[in-house]
Each structure stands twice: as C-alpha cells, then as structure tokens.
Chains A and B, each alone.
Chain A
Amino acid sequence: MKTCNFVLSGLGGQGILFMTKILAQTALNKGYNILGAETHGMAQRGGSVVSHLKIGDAGSSLIRAGAGDFLISMDAAEAYRFLPWVRPGGMVFVNGSNDRFPDERVTPFLAEHHITCFAMEAGKTALELGAPRSTNLAMVAFFSAFGQGPLEAEALRTTVEAASPDSVKQINLKIFDVCHDEGRKLC
C-alpha cells in the first residue's frame, strides 16, 4: 500500500494527540503499520500544534511539505498555516464555517494545486450536543463521511467507541453520527 499521510493541526489543548490516536488505532485494527510525530511541551499552552501520521510502511515519521494526503484541522488559522503540507490533489477538512472557509486569499493556491476543502462547525455541534471537548472526534467523524483513505467510517466509529470512557461514550457516538451525517451532505 502506498503510505497515506495525515497532517493534523490545531491549538494546544484541543486534543490533536487524541485525534491522532483514533486514526492510528484504527489503522492498527486493520493491520496497517503506522508512524507518527507529535509536538509536546510548550505547545500545550495554546500554541500551534501539529501531528504527522503515516499509515503504511515508512521509515521516517515526518511528512514533508507537499506530501500530505489529508489535512484535518481543529482551527481555520491552523489549517491555513499547514496548507503547504497538502499534496496536489489532497483534501482539507476544517472545523470552521463553510461561509468563511476557505478565505478568498488562498483560493488561487487551492485551485492551482487542486486541493479541495470541506468545512464544518464541528466545535459548535459538539458544544450543542454537550461535549465541546469532543470536537476532535467530531472532526474525525466529519472526515470519515467522505470515504477517503484506508480507514472506513465504521472502523473509526468502533475505535471511538472503544477509546471513550463510559461517562461520555454515548454522547461521543452521538457526536460521531451527527458529524458523519453532516459530512455526507457535502459529498
């Protein structure tokens, strides 16, 4: 299998590492190899955070600029920051408003590189459903709706179910389903 490269971005405290774990564990369940690289430390204090995840057989964990298949971002500004990591023809999924993302200042870049963008207010949805901290898995669910890459929606949902503590399991699954359905509408 050709390596599938995920770039996950956002701000410290938003659970980028948990999002990475959901994707990586799902890959393991399906028998794929993974390699990931994270930022820790100071970055946890609200700074820009990025996580690289390679699914498939790779030696080195870092994804070079222009080689990411998917960019999933918890924050619009952090999506713009990591756009150069997306390969031509790659896809961007962002927690933000479809009316405001992508900004017209980057549309020429996106068009030139055939990069497609999908936005959903996952944070708002997670908040309305009572678990604002589950925005990270809401974004995984949104991504899963598009059927892209080696990880299917059902497999990702199973990982979310297994990884969620009992106290928030039902609400997390509800968020997953709602956000998955939101994504389906854009397909």
Chain B
Amino acid sequence: MHKLLQDSPGEKIMLLGNEAIARGAVEAGVAFATTYPGTPSSEISLNLFQMSRETDLYFEYSTNEKVALEVAAAAANSGLRTFCMMKHVGINVAADPLMTLAYVGVTAGMVILSADDPAMFSSQNEQDNRYYAKFGGLPMLEPSSVAEAKDMIKAAFDLSETLKQPVLLRTTTRINHSNAFVTFGEITPRKTKGHFVRDPQRCVTVPAVSRGLHVKLLEKLQKAGQLSETSAFNLIQGEGPLGIIANGVSFYYAADAVKDLGLEDRAKILRMGFSNPMPEKMIKDFLAGCERVLVVEEGEPFMEEAVKAFAQEVGIVIPIKGKSDDLFSRLFEYDPAMVREKMAAFFNVAYTPGPAVDTSDIPEIPMRPPNLCSGCSHRATFYEIKQAAKDMDVICPTDIGCYTLGFLPPLSTGDFVICMGSSVSSSCGFSKATDQKVVSFIGDSTFFHSGITGLVNAVFNNHNFTLVILENDITAMTGHQPHPGVDMELFGLSGHGRINIEKLVRALGVQHVSVIKPFKVQKSIDTIKEALAFKGVSVIISQEPCALYTKSLKLKTARPFVVSSKCVDHKDCITTIACPSFYLDADNRVAIDANTCVGCAVCAQICPENAIRPLKK
C-alpha cells in the first residue's frame, strides 16, 4: 500500500512537504486531481498518480496547465472534490480559465495549488502568484510549515465549499521541498461519481450572465473577508509595541529572530495564513497597538502595500516598512540570519551577529551547474546540428526542459527561451525579422504542452525555420512523468491513447519532415543538412529514449566504452561534447568512467583516431 494511503490516524511520519500536501488532499477526500508537472510541485502529483493506481481516485497528467484546470473545473462543477496543482508559471498558462472560473465558481470543493519558486531553483522567473488571488478574486491560503500544509489543504476544501469558489493554496519551494514530521489524520471517504446540474445563468459566461457573476464574485469576496477575520490561520503571537507581519516560511524566520534578539516581551507577530482577502479589521487593530511595524514577506510587497493602505484609512502614521534598500529585498528567498539582521536594524536592537565567516582565504570554488546526463541523446543531437550548420549564421530558440542545458558550453546551443512553447513561435518571429537561419529545439512533452499551436502558425503564415523535436518518450526534467506520446504500457497502464508526433506534424501540413536516430552520428548530420536546406517549415524528429529513464527501467544493458592506446591526447571528445563520463586520469589523459557510461557510442563516432572502443567483457 502506498505510504500516504495508510488509514492510521495519529501515526507520525517524516514527509516531504509535497508528500504532506498529497496526504492532506487524500485526508480531505479528494476524488479528482489534474496537473501538468513542474518543479517545485512535481512530487505532489507523482504521489497522487501512484495512489490513483491503487484506489478509485481519478488522476491525470493533462497536456498543459490550462487543460488541467479546465478538466478540473468540470469535475468541481459536477460535485467532486477536485485538486489541480502546478508550478507558479503554470498558472500563467491556466490564467485564462482561472479568471473566469472565479466568476462561475464550483459546486464541490476545488483547490488550485500554485508552487512558487523564490530564488528560481528550477524556474525561469520568480513571479509572486499571490497577485493572482487578488487579480482573480480568489480566497488564498499560505502555509508556513510542512505539517501546516497538510492541514491547510483540508481547510481549503472546506472553505471552497463554504464559498462555492475555487481556493488558491500558495506554497513556496521551502515548503514543497522541506522534510518534517507530520501526524496522519482521518481519511475522509471519497465521492468519486458526480452529476452535473445545468445552470446556464451561472455556467455560460456570455456578457449578460457575466455581469451578474462579477457582482456575485464581489459578494463572495466580502464573505471571504469575514471568514479571514476569524480564521485560525491568521494568528497573533506574542505582545508588545513592536509589530511584525509575516507569511509563509518567513513567519518562522521572524519568530526565531524575535527569540534570538530577546524581543519576546516587546514584539508581536501577525502571521497571515489566509492572505486574500486579508483580515482588514484584525490588521487595523494590530496596527493600533504598535509603535512600528516590520513586514516580512518574500517576493513582492503584497502584504506591505495593503497594510499601509489600511493604516492610512484609520489615520495611523507609525513607520511600516518591508521592502526598501536598507531592509528587505524583492529578490530571491530569505534566510533566518538575514531576517534577524534586518529585524535588529529596524527595531534598533543591539545585535552582534555571530562571527561572520570570513572566506577570503578560501579559493573560489567554480560553479557546478546541472548538466546533460551521460549518454543523453540531446547531447548527440546538439552536436549533429552544430556540425550540419557550422557554416551558417544560426539563431537557436530553445525551450523548457533538460535540453535547455544545451546552452552551456561546449554545446552552446540555445539562444532564446522565455516560456513553454516559445521555441516554435519565436522562430516564426526570428525568421521574418532577420535573414539568419533559425533552428529551434523543443522536447516532446513541451511540444504537446504548447508547441503545436506555434507550428500551426508557422505552416499557416509560411515561415522559414527548422524545428527539432527531441522525442525522448518521457517528461524527463521533472522526474519522468508520462505525456501524450508515451507508451503507457511501460507504466503498466492500459486504456490510454498514444499520439504519434511524426503523424501529427505531417497532418499539420509541414512539408519537410525527417526522423533521425541521434546515436547514428553521420547519418543524422546528413539528414539534418537536407532539412536545413529546405525553404519553409522543416521538422526534424530526433528519437531516442531518455538515458536516465531507460537506465531506471533497466531497458538496456549498458556496454561501457574505453579509451584505447590509439588516443593521441588532443581531447577533442571533451572539448566538443563534454559527456560527464569523461575524466582526466592521473596522467592527465582522457578516460571514461565505466560506471556511468551507458554505451551510446557517440564519442566513439566522433573520435578521429577511432580510439574509443567498447569495453571487452
């Protein structure tokens, strides 16, 4: 049995934040869950996917976040408790249904989870999605710890049903990827079959209906505001004239700092856990007893600006500060030491930081960024494209996935990335705006997510570029989730359809379509040259399963390679493809780590001396 399905209330177990959230959803009786995977949310859906295989919980990996939210919206309007989760930028993709679903509402509990990523551990931006709650008029909850995240999701479902409104649960990476002990609660039985009751005056958003719905949305928000005033998630800790307002993980940083600075008798903290709508009266009362107030929140001054506005309304003129040059930044994530230092400065408390770690006598350690894996087929494809296009002035728009790492030297292939699917559409723009050759890259999962519409645009508007679809049969970067082109039998599941990318591309009317097997180096280069010479839209599909996934399924037996005595030590292999299995031995000569080499043989094909050979068993 899946560890999160155990019906053992009171049991204490160590869980990752995302596991705790998945468990919370199960305890809340969630019956229907949809997602598109994205860090830092991925383990929530992974656990729900696993649990759905053992229970009648419905779970699906949807094609993208917009689709996931629309699928979920229907379930939540058919009377099922529904959970839709995604990373913060996923909400941008889902923003269109989100804004209007806020008008329509739901008939059963619906929670939409936004996993924000301050400091961008694994994201292209660090947008603060609390504004989506304000923007759309959705109630929002924000946990401060792993254990609270589990309990909060249950409360979020109840809140959603009280208001008949989807609730936004906003986490940050430090919650999603922290470990802590969590106590299991009761599991609410799931209701897995619903019934849709027609209600066109609520569900068909033509202008005449929507005008009425906006009025209702504001009424719901007002009711939500009253609930926020009395919510246990908005709490005040301590007392005294020094005020602190904090949310999320910053709350514990602030609480630790109060203790460390000896301010327990002089400071009180208002922790905002139900943060849209904010508890206006509670905040005004809190401010009335303060000499000065510090707002501690990662990201944008979301609470700070609201608190200042509340203060203005009641004529309170005390210093209220958060983001400023000498206090908190809008950049990146916070840490306990930084919060303590800023708090000491703002409250004018004598504070001697522990002996600062002076690292000036330690040599700087070079950055070690992530890299394409040993035997990654993307490396071969990038090398082959570079060879085929070596005399051309090429722009390489790329996309979101492992292959974004191709921009790193020595492959250095990747010139423009803004969001999922942008490789294809931006190629349209580059090919019209310049005379440069455009070769763009997109993974199979990303192509399904949002690359198809760009390709339709390219064919319709007769653009001129080559799109390389990297078909590795899995959503690799986020931890090997399926996508519509995957053989679900490999997951032991039957009854799924499977979309063939080549047929799809041909059906869209692309005139020049070719398929390469990237581990056949010369043949691939020859095929790529033909595609590059075509005027119009050409698509190259590079087919090779993800090496890491293949390894985990033990689908192939690795046959490692070795460097023979024919090596003349020019190190071309390292300087052109830089597979992480290469290392320099004690004599400073290239060697191959037999434990990590998967035997793709790409290096053997590019070595001019034929010095790289399979290891004899």
Contact = CB atoms under 8 A, between A and B. Distances in A.
Interface of A: 11-12, 20-21, 24-25, 28, 33-48, 53, 58-62, 64-67, 77-78, 80-81, 83-84, 88, 105-106, 108-109, 112-113, 127, 132
A175 B354 CA distance: 39
B591 interface: no
21 contacts: A11-B368, A12-B370, A21-B179, A35-B178, A35-B179, A37-B178, A41-B121, A42-B39, A42-B477, A44-B370, A45-B373, A46-B370, A61-B178, A64-B335, A66-B354, A77-B365, A78-B368, A105-B362, A106-B361, A109-B361, A112-B361
B36 to A, nearest CB: 15
Interface residues of B, number: 46
A163 to B, nearest CB: 12
B370 A37 contact: no
Given A25-B14, A64-B337, A77 B368 contact: yes
Interface string B236-251: 0000000000000100
A24 B359 CA distance: 30
B39 A38 contact: no
B370 A42 contact: yes
A60 B256 contact: yes
B179 A20 contact: yes
Which of B252, B253, B362 is most buried by chain A, counting CB atoms within 10 A of its CB? B362
A178 to B, nearest CB: 19
Given A20-B179, A42-B370, A59-B256, 4 more contacts: A12-B370, A35-B178, A66-B356, A109-B359
A14 to B, nearest CB: 11
Interface string B146-183: 00000000000000000000000000001001111100
Interface of B: 12, 14, 16, 39-40, 42-43, 121-122, 174, 177-181, 249, 252-253, 255-256, 335-337, 354-357, 359, 361-363, 365, 367-373, 402, 405, 477-479, 580, 595
Given A83-B362, A109-B359, A61 B174 contact: yes
A88 B12 CA distance: 34
A60 B405 CA distance: 32
Given A64-B337, A106-B362, A46 B580 contact: yes
B122 A40 contact: yes
B373 A46 contact: yes
Contacts of A105: 362-363
Given A24-B14, A109-B361, A47 B370 contact: yes
A35 B148 CA distance: 13
Contacts of B337: 64-65
Given A28-B12, A28-B181, A40-B40, A81 B365 contact: yes
A42 to B, nearest CB: 5
Contacts of A60: 249, 252-253, 256, 336
B121 A39 contact: yes
B371 A47 contact: yes
Which of B42, B179, B355, B356 is most buried by chain A, counting CB atoms within 10 A of its CB? B179
Contacts of A84: 357, 359, 362
Given A59-B256, A62-B174, A84-B357, A36 B121 contact: no
B357 to A, nearest CB: 4
B579 to A, nearest CB: 11
Contacts of A112: 361
A59 B252 contact: yes
A144 B76 CA distance: 52
Contacts of B43: 40
Contact of B402 (A21, A37, A45, A109): A45
Contact of B179 (A36, A47, A66, A80): A36
A37 B177 contact: yes
Nearest to A133: B595
Given A28-B14, A46-B373, A47-B370, A40 B177 contact: yes
Contacts of A34: 14, 179-181
B600 to A, nearest CB: 16
Contacts of A43: 121-122, 370
Given A39-B177, A88-B355, A64 B336 contact: yes
A95 to B, nearest CB: 14
Which of A60, A83, A112 is most buried by chain B, counting CB atoms within 10 A of its CB? A60
Contacts of B402: 45
Nearest to A83: B362
A109 B595 CA distance: 35
Given A24-B14, A60-B249, A84-B359, A38 B178 contact: yes
Contacts of B371: 45-47
A100 B16 CA distance: 36
A108 B114 CA distance: 46
Contacts of B373: 45-46
A169 B256 CA distance: 41
Nearest to B340: A64
A45 B40 contact: no
Contacts of A81: 365, 368
Contact of A24 (B179, B336, B479): B179
A56 to B, nearest CB: 12
B355 A62 contact: no
B363 A42 contact: no
A37 B174 contact: yes
Contacts of B39: 40-42
Which of A28, A37, A40, A66 is most buried by chain B, counting CB atoms within 10 A of its CB? A40
Contacts of A83: 359, 362
Contacts of B372: 45
Which of A11, A42, A58, A81 is most buried by chain B, counting CB atoms within 10 A of its CB? A42
Contacts of B355: 66, 88
Nearest to A132: B595
A48 B178 contact: no
Contact of A36 (B180, B256, B354): B180
